[in-house]
Amino acid sequence: MRERVVADLSHLPLHGKGTASPTWWGTLVFMLLEGSGFALMIVVYLYLGSLAPSWPMGAPPPDLGPGLVLTAILIASLVPNWLVSRWAGREDMRKVRIGLVVMSVFGIVPLVVRCFEFPALNLSWDSNAYGSVVWTLLGLHTTHLLTDVADTLVLTVMMFTRHGANSRRFGDVEDNTLYWGFVVATWLPIYACIYGPAWL
Amino acid sequence: MSAASSPPLDIDIRHEELDGRLAETWRTRPGFWGALATVDHKVIGRRYIATAFVFLILGGILALAMRWQLARPEGRLVSPDLYNQIFTMHGANMMFLFAVPVMEAMAVYLVPLMLGTRNIAFPRLNAFSYWIYLAGGILLWVSFALNMGPDIGWFGYVPLSGPQFSPGKRADIWAQMITFTEIAALAVAVEIVVTVFKQRAPGMTLDRIPLFVWAMLVTSFLVMLAMPAIMVASTSLILDRLVGTHFYNPAEGGDVLLWQHLFWFFGHPEVYIIFLPATGMISSMLPAFVRRPVFGYLPLVLSMVTIGILSFGLWVHHMFTTGLPRLGESFFTASSMAIAVPAGVQIFCWIATIWDGRPVYRTPFLFILAFFFTFVLGGMTGVMVASVPLDTQVHDTYFVVAHFHYVLIGGAVFPLMAAIYFWYPKMVGRMMSERIGRWVAGLTFVGFNLAFFPMHILGLQGMPRRIYTYQTDVPWSGLNLFVSLSTVILAAGFLLFFIDAVRSARRGEPAGENPWGAPSLEWATTSPPPPYNFARIPVVTGRNPLWDERGDMPVASGLRVDRRELLITSVADAIPEARDSSPRDSIWPFWAAIATSAMLIGSIFSPWAVVWGSIPVAITLVGWFWPKGTPEDDA
């Protein structure tokens, strides 16, 4: 077919930001499918709970200490997370580097607290179905934390290399903060499931 | 990038040179490693399609083995144990390794071309998806060859699949094969959603998207919302079997019906994950054969969306015989019947299209007609089994086997065959044989109906599914022999189809750009398309671009030729927003798939495989994403 040029695209930027970036949409879509996985696991928890004569089953309710500490850290991390996102938007390299180091710490510390949270459940995964589902919920979220921390660490290292000064990388940092927000957001309903019975 | 060394744009280059420069930037490197590293959606799409058809042949051979066994009473071809493996392999293979992947594979090939873009979004993820799919298929079939094939039915019900009744690793192979195929499918779903949202040709507003692309968009959302259910199910089953959790153990507070809920919350949308792409194919092919645009674009799109939503409200109709509360059963009967409404709207739109057009009876159109007849019959028995008393009567009989083969072969395989005859010229550059094609359409249509219609009657006569043989004193032998003989006709049709496909690749008539005179963008480029799809991005002004613009094609220029560059447009109106880069070929997705496969297969045997296996996975992912300083990284 013969062609007739009707538009010139050469003025367009070489990289889209925010909603003009496929990576941003990719992050959003990954949240949707991971979110549906989490939602289903919560449904499994509620389903098994609805069948059980008593819930928690065959164990005292979990100790509240480690879960509270972890939740407090995750919520507190939203402040630096938001700041990093803003700095990345302004492509302020110095602040982004500092912010990413801070966010790496905010990622690692909850993993340490998590080591105390599993024993605080007061039963094992193979004790009964209740144990299985709370361990799996906590395990799923731990995997979530681990992957995002690994991602943050790699990104932090990258921002200290020659590849850092690039608006694509700042976009990656913004997407990473978006995803961290999701990691925190998914924790809240899981927290409510695991610790709700202990509070009531 | 500074202005001093401003990179070359397509407008700066003489027209005759443009194709060569773009090909240099976009081509797959020759040789073995080039083939492993390619991220061209067309190469991966063709591979995906070819692999899926290999699995179709393997699954078909198993079906023939079953029919040989059941041709007469007290058949002795296979043992009961092998028969269990065969029907499980047949079902799991056809659903997880053929039907879903082949539909996604068609989309991997066609969607970027139909949208007028140069590659799929996240092309390396696309390569990864194919390798993971291939690894899952090899896992299943090698296990079968080693007498470790799953024997628990394609839906792996507990307690049969649990640790108590299925010792050994057969059930784990099944569950982990699911993980492989679901990762592959989820990856493609993500790519398609982002490609459709962000990479459409300028001017392709939401109401101008080709219907096959709409179908794949809805399907991708179904995949993302339904497949996590089967991953939760199969993972918890593996945990029950490997580390002693109690999800499905009633003695410790678990529940066996939980499995059925999770499985069918995935399993019913799964049917539409297979069927919706097929309807999209029909809507996209019909105009070429009736010489008019499809009737009722808007109702067709709305029907697909409605089917997508309703598909999540049907799963309990697979569980009518489990003793659920009556009110629940009534609700699911109503919703199961309700989905016939949007399906009917689609059928009537197609009939109206044909009615008002001037039909040209070429092979793809013959398959479309075969689809109408067969699918409508399958839909009718679907409405029948939506009713609880009838379902209770025919549950687990050959009636159900007949029903779902009518829906799946009629509703998905016939449209797929049409699609292969239709798009083969685009993919290969040569036409398939019209003469052989008519024979294929005739043999498969007649063979299918002769083989599967009597199964309705066998079911009503009480023949249960999944029995490895039956005695001489039950009156099923005559019909079974008839069914088995008819299967030969069906198999002959498929054999002829494969012969035609292989032969035409060398000897078919050259196709040219647009052999069917079809209206959508994939026909605006050469057959097969160059690595970059379009030398200049097409600009869309209507729903049927090649019909709306008789004469010459409006295009946009101003993209770079020294890097893989494509156009990003806005979600609703497809207004150009940026010219972004598309990743180069990379071997890392291949290594990442190898590492992931090793981890997943290892975890069948030890939970520690997840811990140690995640290290190579992490390393390969870093290799994949670490910037290489190529022009694609410019911003």
The residue extents of the domains of chain A are 23-49+66-199
User: Which two structure tokens, joined as six digits, stand for B472?
Assistant: 């001489």
pLDDT confidence of residue B5? 62
pLDDT digits (tens, 9 = 90+) for B468-524: 999 999 999 999 999 999 999 999 999 999 999 999 999 999 999 999 999 999 999
Candidates A2, A6, A135: best to mutate against B (most CBs of B within 10 A) is: A6
CATH number of A23-49+66-199: 1.20.120.80
B412 close contact with A: CB closer than 8 A = no
- Residues 6+ away with beta carbon under 8 Å from B195: B111, B112, B115, B117, B120, B121
Residues 23-42, chain A, touching B (beta carbon < 8 A): 25-26, 29-30, 32-34, 36-37, 40-41
* CB-CB under 8 Å, A36 with B249: no
Looking at the partner chain, which of B513, B535, B558 has a beta carbon nearest the beta carbon of A8?
Answer: B558
State the Cα–Cα distance between residues B296 and B347, nearest whole angstrom. 11
Q: Band of the pLDDT at B13, cuts 50, 70, 90?
A: confident
State the Cα–Cα distance between residues B364 and B437, nearest whole angstrom. 8
Looking at the partner chain, which of A26, A40, A150 has a beta carbon nearest the beta carbon of B232?
Answer: A40
Write down the mean pLDDT value for chain B: 95
* CB-CB under 8 Å, B537 with A4: no
Strand bridging mode B537-538 / B552-557? antiparallel
B162 close contact with A: CB closer than 8 A = no
> Peptide bond before B159: cis, by omega within 30 degrees of 0?
yes
Burial of B419 (0-12, 13-18, 19+ CB in 10 A): buried
Q: At what angle do helices B363-385 and B340-356 cross, to 10 degrees?
A: 150
State the Cα–Cα distance between residues A157 and B293, nearest whole angstrom. 55
pLDDT digits (tens, 9 = 90+) for B544-578: 999 987 778 999 999 999 999 999 999 999 999 99
- DSSP per-residue string spanning B323-358: ---HHHHHHHHHHHHHTHHHHHHHHHHHHHHHHHS-
The strands making up B537-538's β-sheet, listed across from edge to edge, are A2-8, B552-557, B537-538
H-run or E-run covering B363: helix B363-385
State the Cα–Cα distance between residues B540 and B549, nearest whole angstrom. 9
Contacts of B558 in chain A (CB under 8 A): 7-12
Contacts of A131 in chain B (CB under 8 A): 245-246
Cβ proximity of B59 and B14 under 8 Å: no
pTM, full prediction: 0.96
pLDDT digits (tens, 9 = 90+) for A86-144: 999 999 999 999 999 999 999 999 999 999 999 999 999 999 999 999 999 999 999 99
Q: Which residue of chain B comes nearest to A40, CA vs CA? A: B229
CATH number of B39-585: 1.20.210.10
A22 close contact with B: CB closer than 8 A = yes
Q: Band of the pLDDT at A50, cuts 50, 70, 90?
A: very high
B190 close contact with A: CB closer than 8 A = yes
pLDDT digits (tens, 9 = 90+) for B391-428: 999 999 999 999 999 999 999 999 999 999 999 999 99
* CB-CB under 8 Å, B537 with A51: no
* CB-CB under 8 Å, B551 with A48: no
A160 close contact with B: CB closer than 8 A = no
Per DSSP, the three-state class of A48 is helix
Burial of A115 (0-12, 13-18, 19+ CB in 10 A): exposed
* ipTM of the complex as predicted: 0.95
State the Cα–Cα distance between residues A140 and B235, nearest whole angstrom. 11
- DSSP per-residue string spanning B14-64: -HHHHHHHHHHHHPPPSSHHHHHH---HHHHHHHHHHHHHHHHHHHHHHHH
State the Cα–Cα distance between residues B54 and B60, nearest whole angstrom. 10
Q: What is the mean pLDDT of residues B303-320?
A: 93
B187 close contact with A: CB closer than 8 A = no
Looking at the partner chain, which of B244, B253, B618 has a beta carbon nearest the beta carbon of A48?
Answer: B253
pLDDT digits (tens, 9 = 90+) for B425-450: 999 999 999 999 999 999 999 999 99
User: How many C-beta atoms lie closer than 10 Å to residue B421's C-beta?
Assistant: 28
Residue B4 has pLDDT above 80, yes or no: no
A57 close contact with B: CB closer than 8 A = yes
Q: Which residue of chain B comes nearest to A166, CA vs CA? A: B635
State the Cα–Cα distance between residues B627 and B630, nearest whole angstrom. 8
The alpha-helical segments, DSSP class H, found in chain A are 22-51, 65-89, 93-117, 129-159, 167-199
A200 close contact with B: CB closer than 8 A = no
Alpha-carbon torsion angle B274, B280, B281, B284, nearest 10? 180
Chain Cα centroid distance, residue B271: 11
User: Which two structure tokens, joined as six digits, stand for B414?
Assistant: 């016939």
A124 close contact with B: CB closer than 8 A = no
The overall longest dimension of chain A from CA atoms, in Å, is: 76
* CB-CB under 8 Å, A168 with B633: yes
| Residue B568 main-chain phi, psi, to 5 deg | -105, 130
Per DSSP, the three-state class of B532 is coil
B185 close contact with A: CB closer than 8 A = no
Q: What is the mean pLDDT of residues B44-71?
A: 98
Q: Could you identify the residue written with the tokens 């927000």?
A: A181
Contacts of B249 in chain A (CB under 8 A): 129
User: Which two structure tokens, joined as six digits, stand for A177?
Assistant: 């903060």
* CB-CB under 8 Å, A150 with B618: yes
Domain ranges for chain B: 39-585
* CB-CB under 8 Å, B255 with A48: yes
Q: Could you identify the residue written with the tokens 């060859």?
A: B145
Query: Which residues partner with B510 through β-bridges?
Result: B430
Q: What is the mean pLDDT of residues B226-247?
A: 96
Query: Which residues partner with B397 through β-bridges?
Result: B464
- Of A23, A176, A185, whose CA–CA distance to A100 is shortest? A176
Q: Which residue of chain A comes nearest to B614, CA vs CA? A: A147
State the Cα–Cα distance between residues B123 and B132, nearest whole angstrom. 14
Radius of gyration, CA atoms only, chain B: 25
